Amino acid sequence: MTDFERKVYQIIVNMHLYGKNPTLNDLKRKTGKSEEDIRAAVKSLMMKGELKWDKRKEEWDVNN
């Protein structure tokens, strides 16, 4: 996991713990990175099995 992937993952996990689902704008604001960079990091995390999107609940399923 790269430093940026770890940062995105930690933001998603922390917001999930408080019952919030981070939006793309939240991630852009908190990381200071572009939409393209964030999407690439999230896609990589999903391919590695670190993150999953629960379509039924419409929220991130994080493996703690």
Question: pLDDT at position 64, please?
Answer: 55
Q: What is the residue-averaged pLDDT of the chain?
A: 93
Residue 4 per-residue DSSP state: H
Segment 10-22 shows an average pLDDT of 93
Question: pLDDT at position 57, please?
Answer: 87
Residue located via tokens 């590695």: 48
Question: pLDDT at position 11, please?
Answer: 96
**Domain made up of 3-62: CATH architecture:** Orthogonal Bundle (1.10)
Domain boundaries along the sequence of the chain: 3-62
Beta bridge partners of 60: 53
User: Where on the phi/psi map is residue 32: left (φ > 0), alpha (ψ -120 to 50), or beta?
Assistant: left
Residue located via tokens 């790269």: 2
Segment 17-37 shows an average pLDDT of 94
Segment 2-13 shows an average pLDDT of 96
